[in-house]
Structure 1
Amino acid sequence: MIKLFVSDLDGTLLNEHHVISDRTAEAIRALQDNGIEFMVATGREYFSAHQLLSAHNIHCRMINLNGAVIHDDEGNVLKTQPIEAGDFATIIKHIEDPSINATVITDKGFYVSDYENYVQRMKRFINNPHTEQDSGNEDITVAQLSLLYREIKPLSQLDSKQLPVVYKVMFFSSDLDKLGQTRRNIETLPTIDVTSSNHDNLEITHIKAQKGLAIEEYVRTQDYTMAEVAAIGDSLNDRSMIQMVGHSYAMANGVDSIKESARYLAPSNELDGVAQVINQIIDNPPK
């Protein structure tokens, strides 16, 4: 019996327009009505993830930044797992490479190595309707973007002497060889986890800030086990939860290694794969 259903966001719960479809939102509410808890586990920070869910009035616990921050269903912080200052000092040296764009996510906001590039990339990513009925597609302003992601600042303003709490570092590069070498260098740090949500990025967190570990810790507080948890995802930052839960689903649009690790294959996000899986669980619960 499944008592908790955990879903990734991008490429999984979100469709090709980067929103939750009405069909998927309806399935989530049906899941909750049937007494199965729904939880999101995402590489995104809380505010952008919350906007997507609140568009459909969906309330749930949330694992953010791959497990670096965990929120309850009202947005209160339950736990944090930041990167250690010494490790960050090593990681930040790689930002000096001009072929790599970096985003440092902290408790004081976002610090980006290429401010204009970051703003333009996020504007392209976010400019989509919030729901299927909302056909408006107004360009998001820099002010709106800053509100959504709290403060966005140039990385040059990051004060190493008064360093904020660092939850996650992201590297972006079209030079995949350089990105691969950077990954290999950072992976030598014993308290760091390096994963990715796309072929051109790296997501860097504390070794304990992983989706699967965050789910496991939450389950310890409940009256069920990991065997009664289902998780669904599409990319490498989902690997820990796919490997650790009793009922694992990989999206058809997911990377091969995730599809090989998962117990079941779900339809793609373009076909509302999560909704189809949820409805199947409700109608014919796996044993």
Structure 2
Amino acid sequence: MKLIAIDLDGTLLGEDGKISAANQEAIRMRQAAGDIVAFCSGRSLHDMQQIAALSNIEVPLICANGSLTSVNGEIIRSQILVSDKLTEIMDTVSQSGLYFEIYTNKGVYIQKDKKQILEAEKEALFDTPEEKEKAAHIIHIQNKQYGVVEVDDYLEAGVTELDPYKVFILSFRREALEKLAEGWENREDLSMTTSGYQKLEIAHPDASKGNALEELANYYQITQADTACIGDNLNDISMFEYAGTSVAMQNAEPEVKKYADDVTSSNDADGVSYALREIIK
């Protein structure tokens, strides 16, 4: 038996945001052979549950870069941001003028007035129709995630009491993101990662895909050697470091490929299917 953790965006999901028929078939093939396939993403629990349900696939879910792990609908791992830590992070991001979301046990909370920040950045920072269209696509993907709760004010909505587990920051102002990251890079009381050039993700210090994969392997009593993972971005590196076999997508960041044992084809060429059938034995 193997435990195989698969990232979603840029890995299992195509550019259309869906799991292809070939990838679905390969997952079911491995499950039928007795392997445990898990989805492992920076996305929220509610969003990942919907993605799995739309393809009628039942799998353990490692959510928000390892902040939450759900097996058969039960949370077996939960790394929560305590109230004072969350409010500190929120204040820092607010002062920077950047867009951010709060992931909670009741969904992804978005303060309504934050949405105009991304639209303003898109119009101010990009000149060509192609650049604006690419930025609009990134905004669209964020807006269509499942489980979004729009509120007038984060604190008035009580987010600190809803088991918050991640602050997600999105901006086209790369220098502003880097400045935020520099301010947090030596902190031992939080974790920081990214799943894309425009993104910064802040969570509990023990939250990582690698830590969550290790704990899930222990839950199923599967040895480290019998774990495998497939991914494409920097937030996948921790699970690449833990897994017995690690596979990077062809479209993966160059830094990620350095940690991989093998490389499969791209997410739009059913790279997960190829990895499950031909690489992970």
TM-score, normalised by the number of residues in structure 1: 0.83
- Alpha-carbon separation, structure 2, partners of 1:8 and 1:155: 32
User: Where do 1:39-188 residues align within 5 Å?
Assistant: 39-73=38-72, 75-97=73-95, 99-113=97-111, 114-117=113-116, 124-125=140-141, 148-158=146-156, 163-188=161-186
Aligned AA (1:125): I
- Alpha-carbon separation, structure 1, partners of 2:91 and 2:226: 42
Q: Is 1:32 matched with 2:48?
A: no
Q: Deviations over 1:125-180 (max 9, x none)?
A: 279xxxxxxxxxxxx7xxxx7xx315222445446796432200011111111110
Contact 1:99–1:175 under 8 Å retained in 2: no
Q: Secondary structure at the match of 2:11?
A: helix
Q: Secondary structure at the match of 2:168?
A: strand
Contact 1:60–1:72 under 8 Å retained in 2: yes
The residue aligned with 1:136 is none
The 1:189–1:85 alpha-carbon spacing in structure 2 relative to 1, beyond 3 Å, is: farther
**Unaligned segments of structure 2, at least 5 residues:** 120-135
Aligned AA (2:189): T
Contact 1:102–1:172 under 8 Å retained in 2: yes
Out of 63-72 and 117-126, give the one that drifted further: 117-126
The 1:150–1:171 alpha-carbon spacing in structure 2 relative to 1, beyond 3 Å, is: closer
Contact 2:39–2:62 under 8 Å retained in 1: yes
Q: Secondary structure at the match of 1:207?
A: coil
Q: Secondary structure at the match of 2:197?
A: coil
- Alpha-carbon separation, structure 2, partners of 1:206 and 1:36: 30
- Tell me the C-alpha RMSD between the 2 structures: 2.5
Q: Secondary structure at the match of 2:93?
A: helix
Q: Deviations over 1:66-102 (max 9, x none)?
A: 11111113x2222211123332232122222354111
The 1:253–1:122 alpha-carbon spacing in structure 2 relative to 1, beyond 3 Å, is: closer
Identity of aligned residues (%): 30
Contact 2:101–2:110 under 8 Å retained in 1: yes
The residue aligned with 2:212 is 214
The residue aligned with 1:130 is none
TM-score, normalised by the number of residues in structure 2: 0.85
The 1:229–1:34 alpha-carbon spacing in structure 2 relative to 1, beyond 3 Å, is: same
Q: How far is the alpha carbon of 1:34 from its aligned partner?
A: 1.0
The 1:276–1:174 alpha-carbon spacing in structure 2 relative to 1, beyond 3 Å, is: same
Q: How far is the alpha carbon of 1:219 from its aligned partner?
A: 1.4
Q: Is 1:257 matched with 2:255?
A: yes
Equivalent pairs, count: 263
